[in-house]
Amino acid sequence: MPHTPFFSVTTLAPTFPEPEFDQHEKKHWILVKGQTVAVRPGNIPSIIWDTDPASSGSRHGNPVYLGMMATIPCYTMDYPAGAPLPAEAYFSGARELQGKIPAHEVALAAYAIRILDYDRTSRFCGRCGKATRPLRSERAKLCTDCNRIVYPRISPAIIVLIKKGDEVLLARSPRFPEAIYSVIAGFVEPGENLETAVHREVKEEVGINVDNIRYFGSEPWPFPDSLMLGFVADYAGGEITIDNHEIEDAGWFGRESLPPLPSQMSISRALIEAWRRGDI
């Protein structure tokens, strides 16, 4: 069955050219502080604000256009230091909001954090060091001196579930939360196609060979800028060998002996659950 990416933004259209800020009286806001967003209290909490609660003269950040929600433009901004939030509002990371706000808003929260991070880190040209300015025609910035165009960075990474009979290979990285095991993943190198990246990452991390690689689905993973490309592959030989650096443990697991698994909002968990159901 098709994979439904959790962090794919579906309720906001990144429509360009960007409208003039004063063109629309009504605006939506997603307010960001570092890697967190402001959550508005209510029976159903939300990250979407119809007014900027910091607009009473204390706002220091510049609004950054995200896109259109139907006919209403949506902006994000760095919440000004020292500006109070309305009563009972709070800041939260995007992943911590799962189950607390509507699912599409979790994706919007991650998107706003990602776009604002791009805005902060692209204010100067990486080639000549001069200031950049946002383009209204697309999600990009233009160097005011050498005319280099700077787009948001997207880092492609493969993630692959490896099958061997009725078992799958799961591995544990020292970076994972305690006891969690997952499938193999890694970034695509320059000059590689995706299938080559699958073969290389599997060989590097667990020392085995795979074949019959087939596509599963993709997932934007804005922590900070990955695009996860999911695959399923079959075991083709070799013994599990780990380097104790990227991977500290790995093994074959059956459906009745699975270890603690990643979050439900990840493509890694989607791969494992699809296998557990017998869909792949």
Judge residue 80's burial from the number of C-beta atoms within 10 Å of its C-beta, 0-12 exposed, 13-18 middle, 19 or more buried.
Answer: middle
Confidence at residue 262, expressed as pLDDT on a 0 to 100 scale: 94
Domains of the chain by residue range: 21-121, 155-277
Query: Which pLDDT does position 125 carry in this prediction?
Result: 97
| Percent above pLDDT 70 for the chain | 95
Listed range (39-48, 59-68, 118-127) with the worst mean pLDDT:
59-68
Q: Do 48 and 102 contact (CB within 8 A), yes or no? A: no
Instruction: State the pLDDT at residue 174.
Output: 94
The 10s digit of each residue's pLDDT in 232-263 is: 999 999 999 998 889 999 999 999 999 999 98
Q: Does the pLDDT at position 150 exceed 90?
A: yes
pLDDT(85) > 90: no
- One-letter amino acid for residue 34 of the chain: G
Q: What is the pTM of this model?
A: 0.88
Q: Residues in the chain, how many?
A: 280
3-state helix vs strand vs coil in the chain, percent to 5: 20, 35, 50
Q: Whose structure tokens read 């699958």? A: 198
Q: CA-to-CA distance for 277 and 280, rounded, in angstroms? A: 8
* Domain 155-277, CATH: 3.90.79.10
42, pLDDT greater than 80: yes
CATH code matching the domain that covers 21-121, chosen among 1.10.287, 3.90.79, 3.30.450, 3.20.16: 3.90.79
